[in-house]
A = this chain, B = another copy of it.
């Protein structure tokens, strides 16, 4: 049989493509499931946006979140007043 090498490669290619496509399907289903849970929570009166925030924050490094809050506070202070509050930072 001619082109044995090509067939060999083609077989592998087919295999890779089908494996990937199968996993993409699983991933897609998983995303749909997650969305479904949020929807369910919403149906019970929970605030979806806040819930997403909770999951995000819990997934963050602890200090990471606090730091981002501090930066936000600093920006808010500076934007809202004529002078820097404590003069203890270069802002960025």
Contacts and interface: CB of A to CB of B under 8 A. Distances in A.
Nearest to A45: B92
A92 B30 CA distance: 24
Interface residues of A, number: 61
Q: Could you tell me the dominant secondary structure of chain A's interface residues?
A: helix
A23 B30 contact: yes
A51 B91 contact: no
Contacts of A51: 13, 16-17, 20, 75
Nearest to A88: B6
Interface in A38-64: 38, 40-41, 44-47, 49-51, 53-60, 64
A66 interface: no
